[in-house]
C-alpha cells in the first residue's frame, strides 16, 4: 500500500481522491462498516408539487404524531428508500 499524504484542506483531499485510486492506499478487505449517529447529513432544499389531498393527509398524520409534516415526509421517504435499496 502507498502512504496516504496529509492534506491541509478538505479541497486538497477531494482533488487527490478525484485523481487517485483508493485501492492503492486503502486495504478495503480490512474495512469495517461504521455508524455515525451524531453526524448531521447534508441537506438540499427541493420543491415538490403534491396533490392537496396527499398534503392534507400528511398534515393530519403529522399532527397526530406531533411533528412537522416536512419531518414526517422525510421519515416516510427515508423508510421507503431504505426498503427499496435493500431489495437489490
Three-class HEC string of the chain: CCCCCCCCCHHHHHHHHHHCCHHHCCCHHHCCCCCCCCCCCCCCCCCCCCCHHHHHHHHHHHHHHCCCHHHHHHHHHHHHHHHHHHCC
Is 63 a residue whose pLDDT tops 90?
yes
pLDDT one-digit tens code per residue, 21-55: 999 999 999 999 888 888 887 889 999 999 999 99
Confidence of residue 5 (pLDDT cuts 50, 70, 90): very high
Pick the CATH number of 34-88 from 3.30.1360, 1.10.8, 1.10.1220, 1.20.1070: 1.10.1220
| pTM for this entry | 0.54
Q: Where in the chain is the domain with CATH 1.10.1220?
A: 34-88
As a whole number of angstroms, the distance between CA 59 and CA 54 comes to: 9
What is the pLDDT at residue 42? 85
Nearest Cα neighbor of 11 from 3, 19, 22 is 19
Amino acid at each position: 500500500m502507498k502512504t496516504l499524504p496529509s492534506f491541509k484542506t478538505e479541497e486538497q483531499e477531494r482533488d487527490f481522491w478525484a485523481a487517485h485510486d483508493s485501492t492503492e492506499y486503502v486495504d478495503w478487505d480490512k474495512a469495517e462498516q461504521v455508524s455515525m449517529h451524531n453526524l448531521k447529513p447534508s441537506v438540499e432544499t427541493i420543491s415538490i408539487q403534491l396533490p392537496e389531498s396527499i398534503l392534507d393527509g400528511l398534515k393530519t398524520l403529522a399532527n397526530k404524531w406531533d411533528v412537522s409534516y416536512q419531518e414526517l415526509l422525510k421519515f416516510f421517504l427515508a423508510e421507503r428508500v431504505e426498503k427499496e435499496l435493500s431489495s437489490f
